[in-house]
């Protein structure tokens, strides 16, 4: 090999090493049917937020890394990072202000105020967004936010709804709040009339950046499929099926709140769940595509809720 050849080979090796050093970031998830969406490159470290409850539904706080198992496509993965500290909470309150919410805005505001009341003045933060066919920022992320902006009282719900699109864009905004326990809380009647994205698209976007989505259905008792006087079945409700799956796949939950008690209890449950999250990270297998993910406790009496998969390789869904 000539000196010129040796220089060329050495240069190529240095470029390869530099490229390898720069391939690190956060990671991805998605339901059992991957969404139809645009993708960008993803990375090697997969972060997962997990909530653990016992058989009585109580939070379990005292687990260590040795108490968890992570299965990536059925294969065990070693947990690289583990946290269960008291890091602050970051919540984006997302209000549906489309025409179908005209009679429900008072209850939506009441629910949001309940969520804010459970946040700590020191450390925790919240932002307020509204949407019909467009997403608008009413209040940027603000530490110690305890009240909704006055502009929320003057809103006149009107027009069509792009619920799925708004959730996806808001999740991406929440993802920028590094080092916090993050979530999107959506206050809606569940109707979507004009979104470009499907629920599975949105769950892929939110899950890929590990942002749990909590759907809070603001409806009357007659539209609450679990209420005694309901005229709506679970099969027909806009707040069940794909929308509920969207929340579940991201590690969040869907609630239906028809009374003052429902709304108060739901608000407290959401904030409590965020405060009781375990934060787990493991190294991706590197195989491109969707990976079904199972996070479980070794104690079979405990139940773990976390996102149900992630994307690896050239596979991160994006909303635009």
- φ and ψ of 135, to 5 deg: -95, 130
Domains and CATH numbers, the chain: 38-84+277-318 (2.60.40), 89-275 (3.40.50.410)
pLDDT digits (tens, 9 = 90+) for 125-143: 999 999 999 999 999 999 9
Note the pTM of the prediction, 2 decimals: 0.80
Task: Quote the Cα angle for 120-212-249, to 5°.
Answer: 155
Characterize the bridge pairing of strands 135-143 and 254-257. Answer: unpaired
CA atoms within a 13 Å half-sphere pointing along the CA-CB vector of 168? 24
Kindly report the length of the chain.
320
Of the pLDDT bands very low, low, confident and very high (cuts 50, 70, 90), residue 230 is very low
Q: In this model, does residue 30 exceed pLDDT 90?
A: no
pLDDT digits (tens, 9 = 90+) for 50-106: 999 999 999 999 999 999 999 999 999 999 999 987 789 999 999 999 998 998 999
DSSP bridge partners of 236: none
Here the tokens at position 165 are 């699109």
């Amino acid at each position: 090999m000539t000196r010129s050849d040796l220089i060329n080979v050495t240069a190529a090796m240095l470029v390869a090493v530099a490229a390898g050093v720069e391939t690190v970031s956060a990671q991805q998830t998605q339901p059992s049917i991957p969404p139809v969406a645009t993708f960008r490159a993803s990375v090697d470290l997969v972060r997962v937020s997990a909530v653990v409850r016992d058989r009585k539904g109580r939070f379990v706080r005292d687990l260590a890394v040795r108490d968890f198992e992570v299965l990536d496509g059925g294969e065990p993965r070693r947990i690289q990072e583990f946290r269960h500290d008291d890091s602050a909470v970051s919540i984006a309150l997302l209000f549906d202000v489309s025409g179908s919410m005209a009679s429900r805005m008072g209850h939506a505001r009441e629910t949001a105020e309940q969520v804010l009341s459970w946040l700590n003045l020191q450390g925790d933060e919240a932002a307020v967004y509204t949407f019909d066919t467009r997403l608008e920022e009413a209040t940027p992320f603000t530490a110690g936010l305890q009240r909704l902006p006055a502009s929320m009282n003057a809103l006149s719900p009107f027009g069509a709804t792009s619920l799925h699109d708004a959730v996806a864009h808001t999740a991406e905004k929440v993802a920028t709040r590094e080092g916090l326990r993050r979530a999107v809380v959506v206050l809606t009647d569940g109707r979507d009339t004009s979104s470009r994205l499907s629920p599975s698209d949105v769950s892929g976007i939110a899950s890929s950046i590990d942002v749990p989505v909590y759907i809070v259905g603001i409806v009357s008792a007659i539209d609450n499929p679990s209420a005694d006087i309901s005229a709506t079945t679970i099969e027909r409700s806009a707040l069940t099926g794909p929308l509920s799956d969207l929340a579940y796949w991201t590690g969040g939950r869907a609630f239906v709140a028809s009374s003052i008690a429902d709304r108060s209890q739901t608000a407290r449950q959401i904030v409590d769940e965020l405060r009781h999250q375990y934060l787990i990270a493991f190294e991706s297998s590197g195989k491109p595509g969707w990976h079904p993910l199972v996070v479980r406790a070794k104690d079979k009496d405990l139940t773990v809720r976390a996102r149900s998969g992630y994307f690896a390789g050239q596979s991160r869904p994006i909303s635009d």
